[in-house]
Chains A and B, each alone.
Chain A
């Protein structure tokens, strides 16, 4: 109940944030502009609208997750409202989870708006629905859940600027971790291969949530792959939140 109250309050606070609307407007403009670009592509209108739409939704969703996520805890500390909150009969983990769920709700709404726009534009260009686009957006949403958890983890012990930089770095590494493994397999010696393999297993592998290419080209999707990706995303998010709770519980606010 307490978690729900904090989540709702965080959601209300986030939807009043100008950053959210600025990023959302840019994303919607870019998704809309894909239609103009697509007309120059010799018969590839549908592909370009879907590719650019999914990429914009994912990238701008990440910006929202980072820029709002890093302020979730640090703003409370900066405004000193955290002292009033920790003095109340509420566990710190409830506060942190409430904050996290509130931002995830905000992301659900924004990603939902972007996904519907992409699906609508793709329908207007192709003349038929591509339901896979909504599944691709749903998997992208899982990426945003992980990125938000990373942002909240860093914001429990670091400044907003450093948190933003660290979270962005984790996002970039996560997007490239598939290539990291490929690099290890192809070029690295036995020692380096073990190190890279270890990094690949521990760092978030955000590339496994990418089903955009299959959706855009109408290729079959492995149900097991999607289910494993969902399980991995939820498990990784939970792991990050538990680490964040561990750090936040030990933090001294006296």
Chain B
């Protein structure tokens, strides 16, 4: 029986069958246990992420690819905490690592600052990240635009908002509504309408559901605030 089984022509098939059995009988079930045992979970990977200087060397000059990998980790981190405790203690470090590896990654500045402001509540961190982005990318309108929006909506610092909208206004490719905002800010009128327009523009250009959700939430809040005085008057 065993001699027939171990016939040279059957050994390769036997080895393959045993390999398949081992894969589905042991390797896959053991791998399923990994998350439960906390093997290299998301939090571990975030906490053990080396500093940018070390990553620059380790990536052998493929800095863009390394930045993409850390960006994907950042997205997983945001998603994980958005669905659990809504706390983001490592978010700033992650985004700073991404932009240290790829200083021209404009969306990392803008989306990173948005999540720092509206998810982590770290407006100062968002401002510092965006200012870093302006220094590294002086010809891109998106970063001064988001700085202006942050000063306008979150800090109500209209002088700084006006300054950054003026910077945006001078850059190629800026949105059509920017000159209107500059004019309004000079007149210092219609704050809520301006805010509403800013959020609507953001909702309409959002590339992610998370950003769209933040924008829709803020639009609903502003619409309620705008409707309240009107109801007061009708009473």
Contacts and interface: CB of A to CB of B under 8 A. Distances in A.
Contacts of B56: 179
A41 B69 CA distance: 10
A61 B46 CA distance: 31
A52 B59 CA distance: 12
Contact of B208 (A43, A54, A212, A219): A43
Interface residues on B, range: 20 to 34
Interface string A15-40: 00000000000000000000001001
A134 interface: no
Contacts of B107: 42-44
Nearest to B63: A213
B75 A212 contact: no
Nearest to B60: A175
B62 interface: yes
Give chain B's interface secondary structure class: helix
Contact of A47 (B62, B105, B208, B210): B105
A219 B61 contact: no
Contacts of A68: none
A51 B65 contact: yes
B71 interface: yes
Nearest to A42: B208
A242 interface: no
A207 interface: yes
Give chain A's interface secondary structure class: helix
A172 B61 CA distance: 9
A48 interface: yes
A210 B60 CA distance: 11
Contacts of A54: 64
Interface string B65-88: 101100110011000000000000
B196 to A, nearest CB: 24
Contact of B68 (A52, A58, A175): A52
Contacts of A42: 75, 107, 111, 207-208, 210-211
A175 B65 contact: no
Interface string B198-234: 0000000001101100000000000000000000000
Which of A55, A172, A207, A210 gathers most chain B CB within 10 Å?
Answer: A55
A178 B107 CA distance: 26
A41 B73 CA distance: 9
A209 B211 CA distance: 37
A216 interface: yes
Contacts of A219: 104
Contacts of A51: 62, 64-65, 67-68
B72 A213 contact: no
A117 interface: no
Nearest to B139: A219
Contacts of A48: 68, 72
A213 B56 CA distance: 14
Interface in A141-187: 172, 175-176, 178-179
A179 B68 CA distance: 20
B64 A41 contact: no
B102 A176 contact: no
6 contacts: A42-B107, A43-B208, A44-B68, A44-B107, A47-B64, A213-B102
